[in-house]
């Protein structure tokens, strides 16, 4: 196991992800983790980047025991500063910001005085490579017994290594895809230098998570969690069901803005198909009642839906807890499951650094304090594609595993303007046709997310020799790997023509269809 100590960089989780891609098992813990509290010994340690300067009085530092472990250590960005600070204290040139691409020149030492091991980090990497920089401080000179192993035009010590010990520091970020050889560098460190095993698989993740959940919850504890029918909540729910069976209570809140026939379909798949203990609550009227009259404020829609959701969920949780009390299942419900993924975490939590809050995603951090529930988030470290792999391992049907993501506020944020039952009907029917055609054309998996949005304007058309004045549907389909940036999908004309024809003909109240050709950024995937 490789221990990743997190100093809070926006890229920290990418380190763990890259290691998992190398089939290396790692655990990421806060940078202040006391080693004495671990019941395992890492084969190597990676110190992440972070938004601090080691100069600051309140700058975090690792447990000094890390440096006494005598295992290889790789410091990335702030991690390099941390190593330099530990071994040299006064080696920093002060704050000088550097962001973006840089060219790295690798300095090889051969078997000279520095010893052969200092070259190991850059094995199979060309002498000149592109890297991604994002840092404040830089080194002015090397701490004692370190040698420079890489430079950039701006940083004479963009990489350093200890002459005799397996200690390495790099100023750039190997974990981001903008550093094309980054994965080779991480592999050199984890596999060659640390000799970590490369036998970790998603199957092992399942076993580990199930064991972790059982240990956390105990043999009486009960867990409640909302499911939406999407891949994240279903995978999280299935994992809980495997771990604790019916002591996991799944709740599907029908908020009236789900897709066409969705509540029914989800119920069938989760209960009959996956054996999950599910309660479905139809609260459509309550939601739609509260959305009435909200015309021009997307964040207000999100808040109404988020708050109403919490209210309904809380009521349901109370009822389920009361029932559980009366049955043989002992104990109150004390845990809440959330299917939060890593990208949700960074898009929603604004940190000191550049990942500021973009939208208030209602499935993150919306936990009411008075519920007194402890949070379980088994997918918190994973990215979407990893969750899909996990879902497949858990025997979740293909169709569900590959389902496009669907936002918590549902089609309410795809109905621009007021959400009324009639608008919901139009948006739902158009969306259904669009998705049906995407599937029929064999494109569902190529497109990362697609939907029909309903614009709050009317246009003129002519249908059956009659002048009509009705609404406009905007189709949106994007390709993306991480949902943080996205490009619109280049359907061919014949496909769009067919979808447009069907929607105008089959959906009452629509006379025009347009296709959204905005990438993210500057657009977002959803329209609100």
Give the H/E segment covering residue 488. strand 487-488
Reading phi first (left if > 0) and then psi (alpha if -120 to 50, else beta), residue 416 is in: beta
What 3-state DSSP class applies to 359?
coil
Q: Is 117 a catalytic residue?
A: no
Q: Does 173 bind ligand XMP (CB under 6 A)?
A: no
Length of the chain (residues): 528
Cα dihedral across residues 523, 524, 527, 528: positive or negative: negative
The structure tokens listed for 310 are: 């919490």
| Least spacing, CB of residue 356 vs ligand XMP, in Å | 13
- Which one of 77, 249, 429, 511 is the catalytic residue? 77
| Least spacing, CB of residue 451 vs ligand XMP, in Å | 8
The structure tokens listed for 406 are: 């669907």
> What gap in Å lies between CA 162 and CA 73, rounded to an integer?
10
Partner residues linked to 101 by β-bridges: 132
The structure tokens listed for 35 are: 């080693």
Question: Which residues ranging from 407 to 466 are in contact with ligand XMP (CB under 6 A)?
Answer: 407-409, 449
Task: Please state the three-class secondary structure of 112-141 as a single string.
Answer: CCCCHHHHHHHCCCCCEEEEEEEEEEEECC
| Least spacing, CB of residue 487 vs ligand XMP, in Å | 12
| Least spacing, CB of residue 357 vs ligand XMP, in Å | 11
Q: Does 520 bind ligand XMP (CB under 6 A)?
A: yes
Closest among 7, 72, 73, 69 to 40, alpha carbons compared: 69
The structure tokens listed for 110 are: 């051969």
- Which one of 175, 209, 262, 386 is the catalytic residue? 175
Q: Is 391 annotated as a binding residue?
A: no
Q: What number of chain residues touch ligand XMP (CB under 6 A)?
A: 16
Q: What is the CA radius of gyration of the chain?
A: 26
Q: Does 405 bind ligand XMP (CB under 6 A)?
A: yes
Question: Which residues ranging from 474 to 493 are in contact with ligand XMP (CB under 6 A)?
Answer: 483
Question: Which residues ranging from 291 to 350 are in contact with ligand XMP (CB under 6 A)?
Answer: 302
Q: Is 271 annotated as a binding residue?
A: no
Q: Does 519 bind ligand XMP (CB under 6 A)?
A: no
Q: Is 229 annotated as a binding residue?
A: yes
Q: Does 81 bind ligand XMP (CB under 6 A)?
A: no
Closest among 25, 71, 14, 68 to 45, alpha carbons compared: 71
**Cβ atoms within 10 A of the Cβ of 283, count?**
19
Closest among 386, 392, 226, 402 to 316, alpha carbons compared: 226
One character per residue 235-274, x = contact with ligand XMP (rule: CB under 6 A) = ----------------------------------------
**Cβ atoms within 10 A of the Cβ of 15, count?**
29
Q: Quick one: 148 or 338, whose CB is closer to ligand XMP?
A: 338
Among 10, 48, 279, 363, binds ligand XMP (CB under 6 A): 363
> What gap in Å lies between CA 286 and CA 266, rounded to an integer?
21
Q: Quick one: 27 or 516, whose CB is closer to ligand XMP?
A: 516
The structure tokens listed for 299 are: 């964040």
Q: Which stretch binds ligand XMP (CB under 6 A): 21-29, 107-115, 185-193, 518-526?
A: 518-526
HSE-CB of 325 using CA atoms within 13 angstroms: 9
Q: Is 233 annotated as a binding residue?
A: yes
| Least spacing, CB of residue 74 vs ligand XMP, in Å | 32
| Least spacing, CB of residue 524 vs ligand XMP, in Å | 3
> What gap in Å lies between CA 144 and CA 331, rounded to an integer?
59
Reading phi first (left if > 0) and then psi (alpha if -120 to 50, else beta), residue 155 is in: beta
Q: Quick one: 170 or 235, whose CB is closer to ligand XMP?
A: 235
Any idea which residue has 């419900």 for tokens? 333
Q: Does 361 bind ligand XMP (CB under 6 A)?
A: yes
> What gap in Å lies between CA 169 and CA 481, rounded to an integer?
30
Q: Which stretch binds ligand XMP (CB under 6 A): 84-92, 248-256, 371-379, 520-528?
A: 520-528
Q: Quick one: 163 or 359, whose CB is closer to ligand XMP?
A: 359
Any idea which residue has 């204290």 for tokens? 89
Any idea which residue has 């949005």 for tokens? 453
Q: Which stretch binds ligand XMP (CB under 6 A): 330-338, 358-366, 455-463, 505-513?
A: 358-366
> What gap in Å lies between CA 271 and CA 273, rounded to an integer?
6
Q: Quick one: 174 or 391, whose CB is closer to ligand XMP?
A: 391
> What gap in Å lies between CA 239 and CA 273, rounded to an integer?
14
Q: Is 149 annotated as a binding residue?
A: no
Q: Is 262 a catalytic residue?
A: no
| Least spacing, CB of residue 486 vs ligand XMP, in Å | 7
Q: Quick one: 69 or 484, whose CB is closer to ligand XMP?
A: 484
Q: Does 88 bind ligand XMP (CB under 6 A)?
A: no
- Which one of 13, 117, 173, 361 is the catalytic residue? 173
Q: Is 26 a catalytic residue?
A: no
480 contacts 487 by C-beta, under 8 angstroms: yes
Q: Does 525 bind ligand XMP (CB under 6 A)?
A: yes
Q: Binding site residues, as ranges?
A: 228-234
Q: Could you give the residue numbers annotated as active site?
A: 77, 173, 175
Residues of this chain that bind ligand XMP (CB under 6 A)? 302, 358-359, 361-363, 405, 407-409, 449, 483, 520, 524-526
Q: Binding site residues for ATP, as ranges?
A: 228-234
């Amino acid at each position: 196991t490789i221990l990743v100590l997190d100093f809070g960089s926006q890229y920290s989780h990418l380190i763990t992800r890259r290691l998992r891609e190398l089939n290396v098992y790692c655990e990421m813990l806060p940078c202040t983790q006391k080693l004495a509290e671990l019941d395992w010994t890492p084969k190597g340690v990676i110190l992440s980047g972070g938004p601090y300067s080691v100069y600051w009085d309140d700058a975090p530092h690792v447990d000094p025991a890390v440096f006494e472990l005598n295992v290889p250590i790789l410091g990335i960005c702030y991690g390099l500063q941390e190593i330099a600070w530990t071994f040299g204290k006064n080696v920093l040139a002060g704050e000088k910001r550097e962001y973006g691409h840089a060219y790295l020149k690798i300095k090889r030492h051969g078997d000279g005085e520095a010893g052969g091991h200092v070259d190991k980090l850059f094995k199979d990497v060309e002498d000149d490579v592109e890297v991604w920089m994002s840092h404040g401080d830089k080194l002015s000179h090397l701490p004692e017994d370190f040698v420079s192993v890489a430079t950039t035009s701006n940083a004479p010590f963009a990489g350093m290594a200890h002459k005799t010990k397996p200690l390495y520091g790099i100023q750039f970020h190997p974990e981001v895809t903008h550093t094309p050889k980054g994965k080779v560098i991480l592999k050199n460190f984890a596999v060659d230098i640390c000799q970590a095993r490369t036998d970790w698989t998603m199957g092992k993740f399942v076993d580990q998570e199930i064991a972790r959940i059982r240990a956390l919850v105990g043999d009486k504890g009960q867990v409640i969690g909302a499911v939406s029918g999407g891949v994240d909540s279903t995978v999280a729910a299935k994992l809980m069901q495997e771990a604790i069976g019916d002591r996991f209570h799944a709740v599907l809140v029908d908020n009236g803005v789900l897709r066409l026939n969705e509540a029914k379909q989800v119920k069938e798949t989760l209960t009959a198909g996956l054996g999950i203990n599910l309660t479905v609550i139809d609260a459509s009227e309550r939601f739609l009642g509260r959305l009435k009259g909200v015309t021009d404020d997307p964040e207000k829609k999100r808040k109404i839906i988020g708050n109403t959701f919490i209210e309904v969920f809380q009521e349901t949780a109370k009822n389920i807890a009361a029932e559980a009390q009366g049955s043989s299942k002992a104990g109150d419900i004390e845990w809440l499951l959330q299917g939060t993924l890593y990208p949700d975490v960074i898009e929603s939590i604004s940190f000191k650094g550049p990942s500021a809050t973009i939208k208030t995603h209602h499935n993150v951090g919306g936990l009411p304090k008075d519920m007194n529930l402890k949070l379980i988030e088994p997918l918190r470290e994973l990215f979407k594609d990893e969750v899909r792999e996990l879902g497949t391992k858990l025997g979740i049907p293909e169709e569900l595993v590959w389902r496009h993501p669907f936002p918590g506020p549902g089609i309410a944020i795809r109905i621009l303007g007021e959400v009324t039952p009639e608008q919901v009907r139009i948006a739902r029917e158009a969306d259904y046709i669009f998705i049906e055609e995407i599937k029929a054309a064999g494109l569902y998996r190529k497109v990362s997310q697609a939907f029909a949005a309903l614009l709050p304007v009317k246009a003129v058309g002519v249908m059956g020799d009659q002048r009509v004045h009705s609404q406009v549907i905007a189709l949106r389909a994007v390709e993306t790997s991480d949902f943080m940036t996205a490009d619109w999908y280049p359907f061919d004309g014949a496909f769009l023509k067919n979808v447009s024809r069907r929607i105008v003909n089959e959906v009452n109240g629509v006379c025009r269809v347009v296709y959204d050709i905005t990438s993210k950024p500057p657009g977002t995937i959803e329209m609100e």
